[in-house]
Chain A
Amino acid sequence: MANSAALPAHPQGSGQAPQDGATKRDFLKLLAGASALVGVGAIAWPLIDSMNPSQDVLALSSIEVNLTPIPEGSGITVLWRGKPIFVRHRTPAEIKAAEDVKLSELIEPQADADRVKAGHAQWLVLIGICTHLGCVPLGNKPTDPRGEWGGWFCPCHGSQYDTSGRVRHGPAPLNLYLVPYAFENDTKIKIG
């Protein structure tokens, strides 16, 4: 560190450095260094933040979906924030299968009631991206392979989801993610 002997003795007060050897010069160096660091951070932040989603992207973050054309037993895919969103019209049998599963059998235990809106159990709205490595699972059309549990089947690595979108067979570790949405009326939802 700075050599305290090189500093001229201060006329008033103690010209001597404290016992630990720290001098006024050390303090000034630290202060200047810290200020420079704050300055660099202040300059870097706008550049870094400019890589975050821009305001027009954020402004497009909600969509409305009309449910009337979706027949029972199949689903549609809509685009929200650049992601596929599954909106599935479940049959009573599918709902029952989803509700009757014992939670202990699940990889990520979650009740079906927690994955749909109360009173609208026939509608399941999920992000259609496999939680393994991001592929889009098959299963919206009744003719698609839906896997052993009748929900979705991911063609990439064989993950399978049930009729509540819960993972039943790996390698995916988690259930299909839910999306924030609300019913505007019985036939229209707003996602986002």
Chain B
Amino acid sequence: MVGLYKSDFKNPVVNWIDTRMPVFTLMQKEYAAFPTPKNFNYFWNFGALAMVNLMIMIATGVFLAMNYTPNVAMAFNSIEHIMRDVNWGWLIRYAHMNGASMFFIVVYIHTFRGLYYGSYKAPRELLWMLGVVILLLMMATAFMGYVLPWGQMSYWGATVITNLFSAIPLVGPSIVTWLWGGFSVDNATLNRFYSLHYLLPFVIVGVVFFHVIALHITGSNNPLGIDVKSPQDTIPFHPYYTIKDSVGICVYLLVFAALVFFSPNFFASPDNYIPANPLQTPAEIVPEWYFLPFYAILRSVPNKLGGVMMMFGSIMVLFVLPWLDTSPVRSARFRPIYRQVFWLLVIAVLALGAVGAHRPQGIWVVIGRVATLYYFLHFLVILPILGKLERPLPLPESISRPVIRGGGPMPGGAPAKPMEKP
């Protein structure tokens, strides 16, 4: 369709632009008037928080890149230069460093919110899968960023993670050599990691864009997990949710600032303040906290290829989750058994995190194996069966009903089945 757009904006400059490129109309439609379920709780803040966090990471990262040198002889010193000499360099680096941790906290809560309220179910499967793509990209970006300071943990983390690919039969070792651009992690590796660490965040921005497009087609899920039935169920995004998100952003920034200003190295390993030494592996080599559960899965499997496959599988299983969960009811509020196994999954993931932080010996090996087993059982066995066996609670008639009448499901409420639009 070709032709000028008929804009409703009064301001002549805005109208002139909008007529030729209706971005103002788009923003008005998608971010101001956008009809949003009126029953969001604060867990629905985390998407906006992740967006803010991504912007903070890109902004601080761009300024760090102005002073960082991606060369094995200079990388470590250039970080120290940023910390000591560059104006506000300490602040920018600590914000970037702790911003990575904040990003994973936010995104993990965002993900578990989706799991609890069934946000991955039809028609939001693609929206969910795009989210998993973002998570994978974030992990790759965070890993490569951690290599850049070229400390001991950077070097050995890079060595261990890239060596994961050596588990691939036949071509594994060649792939690792290709990843390194040499026969060990060295300058070529550092350079390409720097290049990709700068590139991937913008790829993430692109996928986030798709994520938002998909969201605006299906509309947001909500704590009740039922579809919007009428305009009474929704309120415009602005000002209601812009304000609610702003409250969340203030709390998020408080936590972020507390980390940066009072405990900037809370999540950091002291070993990474020792320059990389290819001849000596640190005694305690542990990944960043946000990788610990996956690291624990890797170590729980007593087989090299098996461990690597299980680790990647733990994310891949999320891609097919919309088809593994057979229950038509979205929100765990109306799924008494799912609500319990959901918390078991949370406990298993937290336990895996703890296992990943400890040496693989004694009780930690056992806990690691049990938690790994549960993680996969949950997705591959429990969810497909549970959807068929579980008897959900009656769903409320509409989003407005419990809000207006101040009660739970109404006596004459719809049975568990109807998920279709009326």
Binding site for B on A (CB under 8 A): 45-47, 49-52, 54-57
Measured between alpha carbons, how far is A88 from B185 in the docked complex, in Å?
Answer: 52
Interface membership of B175, Cβ < 8 A: no
CB-CB under 8 A from B59, the residues of chain A are 47
User: What DSSP secondary structure best describes chain B's contact surface?
Assistant: helix
Given contacts A52-B87, A54-B87, A54-B89, 10 further A-B pairs with CB under 8 A are: A46-B91, A47-B60, A50-B88, A50-B89, A51-B66, A55-B84, A55-B85, A55-B86, A56-B81, A57-B85
Q: Is the CB of A46 within 8 A of B87?
A: yes
> Which single member of B84, B85, B92 contacts A46 (CB below 8 Å)?
B92
Closest CB in chain A relative to B260 CB, distance in Å: 11
Which 6 pairs across A and B sit closest by C-beta, in order of nearness? A46-B88, A56-B85, A54-B85, A55-B85, A54-B86, A49-B87
Closest to B84 in A: A55
Q: Indicate if the CB atoms of A50 and B92 lie closer than 8 Å.
A: yes
Q: List 10 A-B contacts (CB under 8 A).
A: A46-B88, A47-B60, A47-B88, A47-B92, A50-B86, A51-B63, A54-B85, A54-B87, A55-B86, A57-B85
Closest to B86 in A: A54
Closest Cβ of chain B to A173, distance in Å, is 32
**C-alpha gap A99/B60 in the complex (Å):** 55
Contacts of B92 in A (CB 8 A): 46-47, 50
Q: Which residues of B contact A57 (CB under 8 A)?
A: 85
* Residues of A contacting B: mostly: helix
Asked whether A47 lies within 8 Å of B86 as measured between CB atoms, the reply is no
Q: Which of chain B's residues have a CB closer than 8 A to the CB of A50?
A: 63, 66-67, 86-89, 92
A49 to B84, CA, bound (A): 14
Q: Which residue of B lies closest to A55 (CB)?
A: B85
Most B CB contacts (10 A, CB to CB) among A45, A46, A51, A55 go to A46
Per-position 1/0 for B88-108, Cβ under 8 A of A: 110110000000000000000
Using Cβ atoms and an 8 Å threshold, which residues of chain A touch B63? 47, 50-51
B91 contact set on A, CB distance < 8 A: 46
Q: Within the assembled complex, what's the spacing in Å between the Cα atoms of A77 and B84?
A: 31
- Write the B42-86 contact mask toward A (1 if CB under 8 angstroms, else 0): 000000000000000001100100110000000000000100111
Q: Which residues of chain B are near A45, meaning CB under 8 Å?
A: 88
Note all chain B residues with C-beta closer than 8 A to A55. Answer: 84-87
- Residues on A with C-beta less than 8 A from B89 are 50, 54
Closest chain B residue, CB of each to CB of A32: B246
Q: In the complex, which residues of chain A have a beta carbon less than 8 angstroms from the beta carbon of B67? A: 50, 54
B282-328 interface with A by 8 A CB criterion: none
Contacts of A47 in B (CB 8 A): 59-60, 63, 88, 92
CA distance A57 to B85 in the complex (A): 8
Closest to B92 in A: A50
Min CB gap A53→B, angstroms: 8
